[in-house]
Structure 1
Amino acid sequence: MGKHAVEANFDGLVGPTHNYAGLSWGNVASKSNVHSVSNPREAALQGLAKMKLLADRGYVQGILPPHERPHIPTLRSLGFSGTDTQVLERAAKTSPSILAAVSSASSMWTANAATVSPSADTSDHRVHFTPANLSAKFHRSIEHTVTGRALKAIFADEGYFTHHPALPSVSHFGDEGAANHTRLCGRYGEPGVELFVFGQVAFNEQAPAPKKYPARQTLEASEAIARLHGLKSENVVFAQQNPAAIDSGVFHNDVIAVGNGSTLFYHDMAFLDEEKVLADIRSRLTGAELEAVRVSADEVPLEDAVASYLFNSQLLNTPDGMLLAVPGECREVASVSRYLDELVKAGGPITAVEVFDVKQSMRNGGGPACLRLRVVLDDDELKAMHRGVLLTDPLYDRLTTWVEAHYRDQLSQEDLGDPMLLEEVRKALDELTGILGLGSIYDFQL
């Protein structure tokens, strides 16, 4: 029998430049709210409230810090020069689209931060982390350096944790992290099945691929991470996402499927070869039988699944079965709300549904599942990690006060060029690393 282990959720704290720039082609929600005025303070407080609710129920809840935005080093690398203020002003005047990209607060969606393999699955019995290169989108491709620093600061003990650099930042190895990866198992501390979902085979132009929107994750990237993490072939399944789903706005697999324990909750349009994917999982899963909860297009049309982010929800263990934590939008779409009522009555593994208000995140294209990175840790690993980022009542109070002191309640695209905003962000983040005990992880601190 494996060691006792828990699945910790590490949510991304929403950054002070949370704004609606509509930067992600293929993310329908992001595009539909482009250039609206955002409320960074409300977004951060909504995220903290979600974390607090789960921490209060006994789940291990950690925090990943936001990134420095606007990111002046990236602007300098693109030829903008002078003082930091001059760099910002010149970018705002001549290249507002680039300024918007380097001001994105998309690091809040930590499902994209990295791929994590627990020690029960890896050959060296350590927890492995690979930050996602996010090469499909410029505004996200600049994240992995600081993400890697934050993960190393939190999981520093080399006796328990192994950190890999991001894969080469080219389309052939496009990697979107845990948004296209989930783990199924009997118990968290026992070997499981790591399900890697890809959108295309980069080195085979004849392979099926979406036609309208880009496939962000490649098979080649998923295979590379499995090798780096020392995963055995009998513990890995590679599955192709349905290209038609990607072309309908399902830019990541976590928009159409979510798994926890031995339960896989998914739409019938999720996979290109559904039967093979399920058979492969069943043949590899030990210690439990796969419980596949399939939602048909007749029950929930694909466009309703995308609009509501039904599957971009969190599946959480409770003493009475699994809780499905959904965004409020799921109760605003008739077919989805009706399905959820029937799901609870069905007597399956999902026994409860609870609504979370993450509207500020949803308007930018991310639901509850986007906001968290899942890390399975046994008791020794939990003790070995830096515990200053684990949410407690005092930390929640400090962070709430911190947000209210430093975040604006309105932010427009025009505000991104304000030198005062950069000063506010750096002051806030410098204070935050002290609160969380992370040391120097930002470029302006080094």
Structure 2
Amino acid sequence: MTAFEVNFDGLIGPSHNYGGLSDGNLASATHAGAVSNPREAALQGLEKMRMMLRSGLVQGVLPPLPRPNFDFLVSAGFGGTDAQIIESAARVAPHLLKAAYSASSMWTANAATVSPSADSADGRLHFTTANLSTMLHRSIEHPDTTATLISLFDNEDHFAVHSALPMHPDFADEGAANHVRLCAEHGAAGVELFVFGRLAGESTLGFPARQSRLASESVIRGHALASNRSVLLRQSVDAIDSGAFHNDVVCVGALDTLFFHELAFDDTKAALAAIRQAADGLFELKPVMVADAEVPISDAIRSYLFNSQLVQMPGEDRLVLIAPTETQEMESTRVFCEKMVSGNGPIGRVEYVDVRQSMHNGGGPACLRLRVVMTEAEINACHQGVLLDEEAIDELQDVVTATYRDRLAPSDLADPKFADECRAAREQLLAVLDLESLA
């Protein structure tokens, strides 16, 4: 069956700021407290979407979540008017106010885990919203994310949207950032890789291992996936402690190609053997491993070489890597990419994009998108307002230019007027996308 890989990018919200909220995310920690530029961030993201659209791909968008999250602040004991809640939180618990304003839903790779209809026993496209329970600021996203996904995929004949797993450490789930699907072609049955950092009940030293094996197993069951086509792999402690807080910081895959760092997995030899066994009869795996001697894992993480989109462009025989400009600016990763594309391997071209505002908070091109393999019937059945064309991108950019600030410091979150700005901006964005029901 013919199917298309649709990239649903997160539209960066007006409260994009450098709060330094993410333990284990080196970029987030490095830029904590710096002044951000929400307008530039959103425009950079929209230009990346435009580039993908002009390449002949189907491009979608997910709107920002409502910020600040007043329900979260009220549950933390703050009351009164909106202005009073913000003023009290800013005075008493500024870290909670930063969490309530977090724009981290822009990284839609963490929105959900997605399994296409070709893989599921019931022939439907499945979504499980990530609970993101490890980090406070992200744990508040899932109710609004689920509501968004239901609005976009509101057709039970084609789609199944599952709520987040239980909010317990044993079920810690970070979504598609720890998930890779491999296949011969998008519409064919494939192999789904689920990468976890720890077992249920297991304690780890160093940076937190955010994905549990139990969470991945639960998603496999919920999506009705074949056990012999689902592979559970353990992420290496070296990768996590080096700053690979999600597997997509050290690994990305598309079609039959897996592009990964030597230190990505706990046991690389066993991981590749398990994938090949699961892929038997479907496709022949093409692994592209980057040796630590060529690109030290510290360089891979700082440049976000692997947090790139690996895509099949129309009319091109080899895959294209959509990498951040930081990959081009770092010598070891630039040299590796030049060597890689000059060979005859499965990746034939690297396209560099500027998403620097996102990168400063620890998110590259791959973080900004949720990959959804869809048949033509499924594309027609989803909410059409979020499938972009040039005119829609222009309209979204006009709203961003008119309503977003070009300078935002963490201290600005204490201004109650900023909450009104965020609400007004989001309402205008939702109007462009025909999603006023989410306002």
- Give the superposed CA RMSD: 0.9
Say if 2:385 is the partner of 1:388. Answer: yes
- Distance, in Å, in 2 between the alignment partners of 1:217 and 1:263 is 23
- Distance, in Å, in 2 between the alignment partners of 1:339 and 1:279 is 25
Aligned partner of 2:300 in structure 1 is: 305
Aligned partner of 2:67 in structure 1 is: 69
- Distance, in Å, in 1 between the alignment partners of 2:385 and 2:26 is 36
Aligned partner of 1:29 in structure 2 is: 27
Say if 2:7 is the partner of 1:13. Answer: no
Give 1:430 shift: 1.6
The SS at the match of 1:102 is: helix
How many residues of Structure 1 are paired with residues of Structure 2 in the alignment? 436
Say if 2:384 is the partner of 1:365. Answer: no
Aligned partner of 1:198 in structure 2 is: 196
From 78, 95, 109, give the equivalent of 1:97.
95
Aligned partner of 2:254 in structure 1 is: 260
- Distance, in Å, in 2 between the alignment partners of 1:244 and 1:129 is 30
Aligned partner of 1:39 in structure 2 is: 37
Aligned partner of 2:327 in structure 1 is: 330
- Distance, in Å, in 1 between the alignment partners of 2:265 and 2:324 is 23
The SS at the match of 1:292 is: strand
- Distance, in Å, in 2 between the alignment partners of 1:91 and 1:269 is 42
The SS at the match of 1:124 is: coil
Greater mean alpha carbon deviation, residues 317-326 or residues 211-220:
317-326
Partner amino acid, structure 1, of 2:17: N
- Distance, in Å, in 1 between the alignment partners of 2:434 and 2:180 is 29
Q: How does 1:82-121 map to 2 (within 5 A)?
A: 82-121=80-119
The SS at the match of 2:312 is: strand
Give 1:250 shift: 0.6
**Is this contact kept in 1: 2:299–2:332, CA < 8 A?**
yes
- Distance, in Å, in 2 between the alignment partners of 1:429 and 1:25 is 28
Aligned partner of 2:238 in structure 1 is: 244
Aligned partner of 2:412 in structure 1 is: 415
From 355, 380, 397, give the equivalent of 2:394.
397
Partner amino acid, structure 1, of 2:67: R
- Distance, in Å, in 2 between the alignment partners of 1:297 and 1:346 is 19
**Is this contact kept in 2: 1:317–1:323, CA < 8 A?**
yes
Aligned partner of 2:58 in structure 1 is: 60
Q: How does 1:82-231 map to 2 (within 5 A)?
A: 82-203=80-201, 205=202, 210-231=204-225
CA deviation profile, 1:311-366 (whole Å, cap 9, x unmatched) = 00000102231000100101221111110110111210000011000000000000
- Distance, in Å, in 2 between the alignment partners of 1:247 and 1:298 is 18
Percent identical pairs in the alignment equals 53
Give 1:400 shift: 0.6
- Unaligned 5+ segments in structure 2 are none
**Is this contact kept in 1: 2:41–2:357, CA < 8 A?**
yes
- Distance, in Å, in 1 between the alignment partners of 2:68 and 2:412 is 11
- Distance, in Å, in 1 between the alignment partners of 2:59 and 2:46 is 10
Give 1:210 shift: 4.5
Say if 2:433 is the partner of 1:439. Answer: no
CA deviation profile, 1:244-293 (whole Å, cap 9, x unmatched) = 11011010000000000000000010000111111111112143210000
From 353, 375, 379, give the equivalent of 2:376.
379
Say if 2:284 is the partner of 1:289. Answer: yes
**Is this contact kept in 2: 1:7–1:375, CA < 8 A?**
yes
Aligned partner of 1:276 in structure 2 is: 270
Give 1:190 shift: 1.0
Partner amino acid, structure 1, of 2:59: Q
- TM-score, normalisation: structure 1: 0.97
Partner amino acid, structure 2, of 1:401: D
The SS at the match of 1:93 is: helix
The SS at the match of 2:436 is: coil
Give 1:67 shift: 1.0
- Distance, in Å, in 2 between the alignment partners of 1:436 and 1:399 is 9
**Is this contact kept in 1: 2:327–2:333, CA < 8 A?**
yes
**Is this contact kept in 1: 2:259–2:288, CA < 8 A?**
yes
- Distance, in Å, in 2 between the alignment partners of 1:184 and 1:403 is 36
- Distance, in Å, in 2 between the alignment partners of 1:343 and 1:82 is 59
CA deviation profile, 1:370-391 (whole Å, cap 9, x unmatched) = 0000000011111111111011
Aligned partner of 2:310 in structure 1 is: 315
- Distance, in Å, in 2 between the alignment partners of 1:241 and 1:34 is 27
- Distance, in Å, in 1 between the alignment partners of 2:65 and 2:184 is 35
- Distance, in Å, in 1 between the alignment partners of 2:272 and 2:153 is 33
Give 1:439 shift: 3.5
Partner amino acid, structure 2, of 1:374: R
The SS at the match of 1:221 is: helix
Greater mean alpha carbon deviation, residues 264-273 or residues 417-426:
417-426
- Unaligned 5+ segments in structure 1 are none
Partner amino acid, structure 2, of 1:250: A
Give 1:395 shift: 0.2
Greater mean alpha carbon deviation, residues 125-134 or residues 431-440:
431-440
Partner amino acid, structure 1, of 2:186: Y
**Is this contact kept in 2: 1:326–1:353, CA < 8 A?**
yes
